[in-house]
Amino acid sequence: MSKPISRRQLLQWSGLSGAGLLLSSCGSNFGAQEIGQVIEPLNQATQSLLLSQKPVPEFSIHQVEPDKLLINTFDQTPKIDPAQYRLEISGEVNHPMQLSLANLRSLPFTSMVIQHVCVEGWAAIVQWGGVKLQDLLKLAQPKLNARYVYFKSADGYYESWDFASAMHPQTLMAYQHNGKLLSVEHGAPLRLASPVKLGYKQSKWVTQIILTAQLMPQKGYWEDQGYEWFGGL
Ligand SMILES: Nc1nc2c(c(=O)[nH]1)N[C@H]1C(S)=C(S)[C@@H](COP(=O)(O)O)O[C@H]1N2
Ligand SMILES: [Mo]
């Protein structure tokens, strides 16, 4: 288990500074200060991947369809205490991390309006807000051999994505939905949201993100029952 990330580390790894981040960290439980941490540049492969990613056109906020996003959960809605919640990032990374909700909220916020498509035959235009997964992975510093990203959820759901889709600029770890704080049924405190993948790839209640060099025999909850793995849109 990694230590909770310190505010100094967040600032150094992200290259972020300024009043917004400093103010928003008031009252949060940042741990030990790591002094003299070296800032490592992203590796060349990751850098060129980022440059090559094209954004998917978005909808206007007026096109949001609030009643169309059906709740789709294979089992029970898990109970998560927001104060105890940590997102753990581990595996093939140089800086394993644990982020509290305060940590996540102190990072740059992105909002997007995209279409969510479920293979069961429904779709909805949805606004999502949160942190770019790309920003989180940059903080964790993927190793050169990182090719897949696993997501583990509090309800036992699990998913795996290709690294490029995880680094896409519109792949978010969302904590906001249609202008409000994300509801528990839709995956609070934190879920995946992206216009590049089908609904079943978009894990709710994510607690762990694990980078791997290989795809494991267990690829995803629905994939292991025959759904296609890539699940692209
Ligand atoms: N943890 C978890 N995430 C999940 C699921 C689930 O059962 N458990 N269902 C998936 C499916 S099939 C879809 S279509 C979307 C639905 O998201 P929603 O319930 O917020 O509409 O969540 C996805 N993420
Ligand atoms: Mo779905």
Ligand 2 center–CA 42 separation, angstroms: 34
User: Which ligand 1 atom lies nearest to the CA of residue 177?
Assistant: 20
pLDDT, position 29: 37
Which DSSP state fits 156?
S
Pick the most confident of 21-25, 28-32, 83-87. 83-87
Residue 86 CB: number of other CB atoms within 10 A? 17
- Residue 218 pLDDT class (50, 70, 90 cuts): very high
- To the nearest whole number, what is the mean pLDDT of the chain? 88
What is the rounded CA–CA span in Å between residue 197 and residue 56? 11
Sheet holding 148-153, edge to edge: 97-99, 87-91, 206-212, 148-153, 158-162
Query: 18 vs 77, which has greater pLDDT?
Result: 77
What pairing do the DSSP bridges indicate for beta strands 158-162 and 87-91?
unpaired
Ligand 1 center–CA 18 separation, angstroms: 36
User: Which ligand 1 atom lies nearest to the CA of residue 70?
Assistant: 21
Q: In this structure, which residue's CA is closest to atom 16 in ligand 1?
A: 72
Ligand index nearest the alpha carbon of residue 159: 1
- Res 2 pLDDT > 70: no
pLDDT, position 44: 87
> What residues contact 232, with CB distance under 8 A and at least 6 apart?
165, 196, 197, 198
Least-confidence region, from 26-40, 64-78, 198-212: 26-40
pLDDT, position 31: 37
User: Which ligand 1 atom lies nearest to the CA of residue 153?
Assistant: 1
- Res 16 pLDDT > 60: no
Question: Could you give the percent of the chain with pLDDT greater than 90?
Answer: 80
Ligand index nearest the alpha carbon of residue 73: 1
> What residues contact 22, with CB distance under 8 A and at least 6 apart?
none
7-225 folds as: Sulfite Oxidase; Chain A, domain 2 (3.90.420)
Give the model confidence (pLDDT) of 169-197 as tens digits.
Answer: 999 999 999 999 999 999 999 999 999 99
Phi, psi of 63 (to 5 degrees): -90, 0
Q: In this structure, which residue's CA is closest to atom 6 in ligand 1?
A: 73
Residue 218 CB: number of other CB atoms within 10 A? 11
Ligand index nearest the alpha carbon of residue 220: 1
What pairing do the DSSP bridges indicate for beta strands 122-132 and 148-153?
unpaired
DSSP H/E element including 176: strand 172-177
- Residue 4 pLDDT class (50, 70, 90 cuts): low
- Residue 224 pLDDT class (50, 70, 90 cuts): very high
Phi, psi of 70 (to 5 degrees): -80, 145
- Res 18 pLDDT > 50: no
Ligand 2 center–CA 31 separation, angstroms: 38
- Residue 68 pLDDT class (50, 70, 90 cuts): very high
Task: Give the alpha-carbon dihedral of 96, 98, 103, 105, to 10 degrees.
Answer: 100
Least-confidence region, from 20-34, 44-58, 137-151, 218-232: 20-34
Buried-state track 22-39, b at ≥16 Cβ within 10 A, e below 16:
eeebeeeebeeeeeeeee
Residue 96: asked if its preceding bond is cis (omega within 30°), the reply is: no
Give the model confidence (pLDDT) of 101-152 as tens digits.
Answer: 999 999 999 999 999 999 999 999 999 999 999 999 999 999 999 999 999 9
User: Which ligand 1 atom lies nearest to the CA of residue 69?
Assistant: 21
Residue of 173, 230, 164 whose CA lies nearest to 197 = 230
Each domain of the chain, given as residue ranges in start order, spans 7-225
Residue of 212, 222, 115 whose CA lies nearest to 162 = 212
Task: Give DSSP secondary structure letters for 48-80.
Answer: HHHHHPPPPP---GGG--TTT-----SSPPPP-
pLDDT, position 12: 61
Partners of residue 98 on adjacent β-strands: 4, 88
Ligand 1 center–CA 74 separation, angstroms: 8
Q: In this structure, which residue's CA is closest to atom 12 in ligand 1?
A: 200
Query: 70 vs 33, which has greater pLDDT?
Result: 70
